[in-house]
Amino acid sequence: MSYTPIHFSEDDRIFQAQIRLFAEREVAPIADEIDHEDRFPDEVIPKFGDMGLLQWSVPEAYGGPEGSLTKLCIAREELARYSLSLSVMVGENGNGMALPLLFAGTEAQKQKYFPILAKGRTLVAFALSEPEAGSDAAALRTRAVRDGDDWLINGSKIFVTCGPVADYVLVLARTNDAPRAKGVSAFIVDTTLPGVTRGSKNKKMGYNGATPNCDFFFEDVRVSADAMVGGDGEGFTIAMKCMEFNRPAMSASAVGVAQGALDQAIAFAKGREQFGKAIAEFQGLQFMMADIAMQIEAARALLYEVTARYDLGDMDGYGGLSAMVKTLCSDAAMKATTDAVQILGGYGYMKEFPVERMMRDAKVTQIFEGTNQIQRMLIARELLK
């Protein structure tokens, strides 16, 4: 049981039904396998592209679907009921190029890159984190220096989601000596350029398969002046706008994982018998499932309130709200998946059962897009203005 937000339009409801069917047919059958094998599912890229999921934020004028944040979150939630990694892959593609271009790109850049993205076959990554720049993202050390009309990029990035398979990567680099964030700029980098090297694929607890991570190394990587998105020193602002947009999307993935875990727990509890009756009849487990359901619905309600505000252009307090929803949804996902494993007992600890994977996957939702401790700091900052 899950409830559709009452303010969803008829178009939203139709899209939800379509993406739910797509997830059941294309995602559910491969979800366990791509996690266990840590295999990137190349075969789904054309299918995701044909659904418009890899080019979601590309405007219609350039051949894209120009989808709303609400519909993006609907897609992310439905996909994550079966696979967090395939759900997150959808958002990473927008975060790496489409959103930065929407926020700060020139018309020439949009004419160059949007038609490529609109085909739904191009994969993009977002490279911000560094060994010394995690939560303190403005402390990055990668540098880009002028060389005639070009820029030369030197440095390294860590934990780049979809890095091993990306065709392009948005690189945040320091371009001037202004303090901290004011000295950071953003560049679109073709991953086939000389001097771009990828490290080996990171070995992770969960979140495997469709979202492989790796480190990047840049040695005298030459890019033209038009590779810079926004002006000199505007990169950090662009990155933060992308993250604020993406926090509800990440939250939707977290809600999807939580809902998927609850679905699994309910089905198991109805079919598993102990002491002569289904374990679903035991009040202790009923209370656990009820608590999970309440937390999911509370998280879902805030999620789609935030997306509705964004789609209407109501940005008053949006930064604080996006931090709230990211924290609430990811904490709910961690609690839901942990309790789902408990409901399944020993079976929940076995890799043959999806809740084992879901619990490992849920943890990362409390970490990426800013840890939940950072989110709470942002919420408090908004409250104390």
Cβ pair 249, 73 in contact under 8 A: yes
Catalytic residue among 77, 92, 130, 369: 369
Cβ pair 322, 306 in contact under 8 A: yes
248 backbone dihedrals φ, ψ, rounded to 5°:
-60, -35
| DSSP state at residue 164 | G
> Does residue 220 have a pLDDT over 80?
yes
CATH number of 10-118: 1.10.540.10
Dist CA 339 CA 355 (whole Å): 10
Rounded to 5°, angle at Cα 245 from 355 and 261: 10
pLDDT 10s digits, 284-339: 999 999 999 999 999 999 999 999 999 999 988 899 999 999 999 999 999 999 99
User: Which of the two residues, 91 and 114, has the higher pLDDT score?
Assistant: 114
| 369 noted as active-site residue | yes
pLDDT at position 91: 81
CATH number of 124-233: 2.40.110.10
Of 195, 201, 200, 199, residue with least CA distance to 218: 195
211 backbone dihedrals φ, ψ, rounded to 5°:
-125, 65
Gyration radius (Cα) of the chain, Å: 21
Which amino acid is residue 197, in one-letter code? T
- State the burial class of residue 157 (Cβ atoms within 10 Å of its Cβ: 0-12, 13-18, 19+): buried
Which CATH topology does 236-383 take? Butyryl-CoA Dehydrogenase, subunit A; domain 3 (1.20.140)
Instruction: Indicate the pTM of the whole model.
Output: 0.94
Domain ranges within the chain, ordered by starting residue:
10-118, 124-233, 236-383
147 backbone dihedrals φ, ψ, rounded to 5°:
-140, 90
Output the average pLDDT for the chain. Answer: 94
